[in-house]
Amino acid sequence: ATRAAVNESIKQLSASNNPRLPQLQQQASQLDKSFLEMHDAFAQRKALLDSSRKFQEFLQHAREEDAWIRNCEPRVTVSELGHDITSTSHLTKRLDAAVVDITAHKKSQFDAVISEGKELIQQNHFASGRVEDTLASLETHWKNLMAMVEARRKALDFAALQQQYLSDSNAADSW
């Protein structure tokens, strides 16, 4: 029976002057109190489960971002610098395209995961320490990726200068 049905039955019994009415009212009161305690416990459990779900979703998003970063690393750590000006220029354009992809991904997804983690920390989530560690790891991996991009850019720029010097030197020699 529901709480409402029990309360309705008690009202009907009180109208009929049942001799067990005080005992039944006390039992109904205890039942109502137990129901409210159980309801509160369920609400607390639901809140804890929701909090845990948010944390697990954050961890999943963080793992996805970490995997994405690791998948980008080969694109920006290629050791080939080109054998002439054209091939070096082509490699520079490929790096530029990778940078565009990386920048777009940062704005659309990476920053959202970082915000999600910071929000959990601001809410004093029970796993705030682990969230902070995960955020620190993600940000370190991101900085490492950007350092790889910068190193690749410098290497390609230097290779382009070398190729240009060789080209100018060959042109001067042919005169």
Write out the two tokens for 54.
């948010």
Query: In the predicted model, is pLDDT for residue 64 greater than 90?
Result: yes
Q: Which residue has the higher pLDDT, 149 or 32?
A: 149
Main-chain phi, psi angles of 82, to 5 degrees = 95, 155
Q: Kindly indicate the confidence band of residue 5, based on its pLDDT and cuts at 50, 70 and 90.
A: confident
pLDDT of residue 61: 97
Q: List pLDDT tens digits, range 89-133.
A: 999 999 999 999 999 999 999 999 999 999 999 999 999 999 999
Residue 15 has pLDDT above 80, yes or no: no
Q: What is the pLDDT of residue 14?
A: 74
pLDDT band at 11; cut points 50, 70, 90: confident
- Asked if residues 138 and 62 have their Cβ atoms less than 8 Å apart, the reply is yes
pLDDT at 1: 58
What SS3 state is found at 78?
Answer: coil
pTM to 2 decimal places: 0.77
Three-class DSSP labels, 84-146: CHHHHHHHHHHHHHHHHHHHHHHHHHHHHHHHHHHHHHHCCCCCHHHHHHHHHHHHHHHHHHH
- Contact at 8 Å (CB) between 135 and 117? yes
Q: Tell me phi and psi for residue 152, to 5 degrees.
A: -65, -40
Going from the C-alpha of 68 to that of each of 64, 65, 101, 145, 152, the distances in angstroms are: 6, 5, 11, 11, 19
Please tell me the distance from the alpha carbon of residue 111 to that of residue 105, in angstroms, as a whole number. 9
The larger pLDDT score, comparing residue 139 to residue 6, is at 139
Contact 35, 41 (CB under 8 A): no
In sequence order, what are the residues at sequence separation of 6 or more whose Cβ sits closer than 8 angstroms to the Cβ of residue 103?
none
pLDDT tens profile 27-52:
888 988 998 999 999 999 999 999 99
Percent of the chain clearing pLDDT 70 (strictly above): 99
pLDDT at 127: 95
| 174 compared with 26, residue with greater pLDDT | 26
Tokens of 131: 């969230």
For the chain, how far is it from start to end, CA to CA, in angstroms? 104
